[in-house]
């Protein structure tokens, strides 16, 4: 049984470039969550998606960040015009049940973004 798969594991971008982070949830899970872990900080919620819908994006920065979870394929977190402050580990988690249910999250191993 494959867990949450994220790729790439490491991503280096120059300032101003775009970063695309991909997340394939556990097979059969239709709920995806993205969290960001800045150096020496705990994880912070960014966005919650179901297939083809953004349910809660209250943790997403207002500009440059977007997320999608299409009907087919992985969830994508996209960061446009990256800045040094975007350097962090980005984790994806999935769940078979929605946010109203008692179903703990299981995380992938993350994508470590470095902006130079």
Partner 1 sequence: QKEVEQDPGPLSVPEGAIVSLNCTYSNSAFQYFMWYRQYSRKGPELLMYTYSSGNKEDGRFTAQVDKSSKYISLFIRDSQPSDSATYLCAMSHPFQGAQKLVFGQGTRLTINP
Which residues share a beta bridge with 76?
22, 68
Q: Which is nearer to partner 1, 73 or 98 (CB)?
A: 98
User: Does 50 interact with partner 1 (rule: CB under 8 A)?
Assistant: no
- What gap in Å lies between CA 68 and CA 110, rounded to an integer? 17
- Rounded distance, CA 35 to CA 38, Å? 10
**Residue 101, interface with partner 1 (CB under 8 A)?**
yes
Min CB(36)–partner 1 separation in Å: 11
The C-alpha angle with vertex 12 and arms to 67 and 73, in degrees rounded to 5, equals 35
Strands 10-13 and 111-115: what pairing?
A: parallel
* Region binding partner 1 by CB under 8 A among candidate stretches 14-22, 60-68, 79-87, 92-100: 92-100
Would you tell me which residues interact with partner 1 (CB under 8 A)? 4, 6, 31, 33, 35, 40-45, 48, 56, 91, 93, 95, 99-110, 112
């Amino acid at each position: 049984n494959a867990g949450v798969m994220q790729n790439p594991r490491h991503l280096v971008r120059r300032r101003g470039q775009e970063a695309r982070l991909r997340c394939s949830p556990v097979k059969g899970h239709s709920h995806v969550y993205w969290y960001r872990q800045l150096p020496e900080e705990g994880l912070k919620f960014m966005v919650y998606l179901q297939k083809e819908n953004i349910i809660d994006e209250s943790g997403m920065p207002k500009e440059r960040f977007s997320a999608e979870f299409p009907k087919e394929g992985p969830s994508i977190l996209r960061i446009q015009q990256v800045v040094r402050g975007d350097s962090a580990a980005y984790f994806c988690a999935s769940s078979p049940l929605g946010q109203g249910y008692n179903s703990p999250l299981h995380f992938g191993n993350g994508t470590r973004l470095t902006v130079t």
